[in-house]
Structure 1
Amino acid sequence: MSKNNIPTYDEMMNPLLRAMKKLGGSGTVEEINSKVAEILGLQDEQLDILHDSKRGGQTEFEYRLAWTRSYLKRYGILENSSRGVWALTPEGRNLTDVNEKEVVRVVRGQLRAERLEATEVDEESKTLTWQEELLETLMKMEPDAFERLIQRFLRESGFIQVEVTGRSGDGGIDGRGIMRLGGLLSFHVIFQCKRWQGAVRANQVRDFRGAMVGRADKGLLVTTGTFTKDAVWEATRDGAPAIDLIDGDQLVEKLRELALGVKTEKIQVEKVSVDKNWFASL
């Protein structure tokens, strides 16, 4: 399916505004993406189209909607916190719709005034962001090294007795561990890690659940790519054991927070770089 079947960033401005109101005025990127896709009636085939398969797992829909959020933020309708939560500003709460052409005109005027090089909203930067560089590095890792990375990632996140199995014919299970909460509660967790550029689908979530039932309290599915809308629904379906999902965007942010292969230098602004030697040493 062609990218032409996906609404442009300006065509999604009013759907995004409606989505924010339906979410109560605030939401995470994942919640916003899901609600906008629902309002627009987009199908999985449209949501699965990658923006650039060579630069990680971001889909074209996510890429364009990120620009939509950016434009509405510059226009004064949206704001976002350091925790990744987006919210309507007082001005945004009082609006029912916006004039897309007016938003584009005002924001592009701001961009020109700031002497930004980009003159088209969909012009792709030739320089990789640290997130894209990290995803690219993860995709180049050997499978066993990637499994060791996830093992270290889980340990740093509070898991104990983390074991990587990686046995073929084990229902796709890559390992297991125990998550302790507050020193009082413990959950046995089975995990699967996928170095994918595309989207994990609902049937793959179901297969993983089938392999974990009776063997653990919870399941954790980690991917460098994304999850389809149906996969997210399947992971939390009523009456079935819940499976927690971590996509590529969440994974790189957690690696940055835990300083695993990522160095953050604070000068006047925050600078994040990927330590490729760290990954190569795994």
Structure 2
Amino acid sequence: MRERTQKNDFQQWMPLILDCLRDVGGQSRPREVLSWIKEKRSPLAPYLEETLSSGQMRFYNQVHWARQHLAWEGLLDDTRRGVWALTALGWKTQLDTKTAAEIVRNRTRTQASPNESPDPVAAQPTSAELPPLDELQELRLLDVLKSLPPMGFEKLCQRLLSEHGFENVVVTQQSRDGGIDGYGTLRLSAFVSMKVAFQAKRYKDVVSRPAVGEFRNALLGRAEKGVFITTGRFTADAEAEASRDGVIPIELIDGERLVELFEEKGLGVKPKQILMIDHAFFDEFRK
């Protein structure tokens, strides 16, 4: 029974999302909420690394479903994309796993048709279900990025770095890159600048520690900082290697962060108004 709770019941994350947002002042970015929860649930580390058939992290998918139910309940403000914020009700609401499960059951009950029996399990996401709308958009953009040829992806990352303030960004010749896909200059002030090298890889799954180590070896004598960009994600060991003391620092940009960087500059994406049902509004008329 404990195994089932860990793997299938996304409502277990609902209290932690509220606790996290209260702890950080009321609002945060999704990746910061995920990191906070991971730290609180470190004994579940192997489970947190599991993936769905799509290659998406199961934990990532479940936390987004938990966030969606909190928004439907009026505890989170979902009007700003990329920001999770508490409402006034969310600030003062204390949830436990039992209460969270009841919220999910009630949501299932109100959404069921009059001729159907409510099924609490039906509200739980499975690997075959579509993710929440905002997460689905991220996956679609990642699919586009993964479909590009290697050189096309490198040139796109060149454009992305330029849009975010890097100067003189160039892509190296593939036959002579020596493990580095390109260079750029990051100006820190009017008097100080830093030479940065980047690597751009279209990975479906994970980037391991050896890949980060090999990139750092390529940086020696050639750049003061590295940026590793991927459409996949980094293992915990890779993250530890990137921030290891006494060596050239490497900034890791995973698929989730990559999508955020494209959206921040409106690069390759266009705004579109989407009207969504405000279930909390109709709850008042179901009483």
Q: How does 1:215-226 map to 2 (within 5 A)?
A: 215-226=222-233
Structure 1 residues not aligned, in runs of 5+: 114-118, 271-282
Alignment partners' CA distance in 2, 1:206 and 1:80: 39
- In the TM superposition, what whole-angstrom CA distance separates every residue of 1:236-255 from its partner, at most 9, and x where no partner exists? 34444332222212223333
Q: How does 1:64-75 map to 2 (within 5 A)?
A: 64-75=62-73
Say whether residues 1:254 and 2:257 are aligned partners: no
1:277 is aligned to none
Check whether the contact 1:44–1:229 (CA below 8 A) recurs between aligned residues.
no
Alignment partners' CA distance in 2, 1:259 and 1:18: 32
Check whether the contact 2:21–2:27 (CA below 8 A) recurs between aligned residues.
yes
Q: How does 1:1-150 map to 2 (within 5 A)?
A: 6=7, 8-42=9-43, 45-53=46-54, 58-80=56-78, 82=80, 84-98=82-96, 99-109=99-109, 111=111, 120-122=123-125, 124-125=129-130, 129-150=136-157
AA partner of residue 104 (structure 2): V
Check whether the contact 1:189–1:217 (CA below 8 A) recurs between aligned residues.
yes
Alignment partners' CA distance in 1, 2:244 and 2:88: 35
Q: How far apart are 1:110 and its partner, in Å?
A: 5.7
Q: How far apart are 1:22 and its partner, in Å?
A: 4.4
Q: How far apart are 1:96 and its partner, in Å?
A: 4.0
Structure 2 residues not aligned, in runs of 5+: 114-121, 277-287
Name the larger-Rg structure. Answer: 2
Alignment partners' CA distance in 2, 1:27 and 1:258: 19
> CA separation of 1:169/1:203 partners in 2, compared to 1, >3 Å: closer, same or farther?
farther
- In the TM superposition, what whole-angstrom CA distance separates every residue of 1:69-106 from its partner, at most 9, and x where no partner exists? 11122223333563623233343333443312221133
Q: Which has the higher contact order (CA 8 A, sep 6+)?
A: 1
AA partner of residue 80 (structure 2): S
AA partner of residue 269 (structure 2): V
More helix by share: 2
- Work out the percentage of aligned pairs sharing the same amino acid: 37
What TM-score, normalized by structure 1, do the two folds share? 0.75
Q: How far apart are 1:191 and its partner, in Å?
A: 0.5
Check whether the contact 1:162–1:176 (CA below 8 A) recurs between aligned residues.
yes
2:238 is aligned to 231
Alignment partners' CA distance in 2, 1:178 and 1:33: 31
2:211 corresponds, among 179, 204, 207, to: 204
> CA separation of 1:8/1:210 partners in 2, compared to 1, >3 Å: closer, same or farther?
farther
Q: How far apart are 1:63 and its partner, in Å?
A: 0.6
> CA separation of 1:71/1:240 partners in 2, compared to 1, >3 Å: closer, same or farther?
farther
Check whether the contact 1:33–1:62 (CA below 8 A) recurs between aligned residues.
yes
Secondary structure (helix, strand or coil) at the match of 1:6 reads helix
Check whether the contact 1:163–1:175 (CA below 8 A) recurs between aligned residues.
yes
> CA separation of 1:213/1:111 partners in 2, compared to 1, >3 Å: closer, same or farther?
farther
2:193 is aligned to 186
> CA separation of 1:75/1:233 partners in 2, compared to 1, >3 Å: closer, same or farther?
farther
Alignment partners' CA distance in 2, 1:194 and 1:157: 19
Aligned length: 259
More strand by share: 1
Q: How far apart are 1:257 and its partner, in Å?
A: 4.0
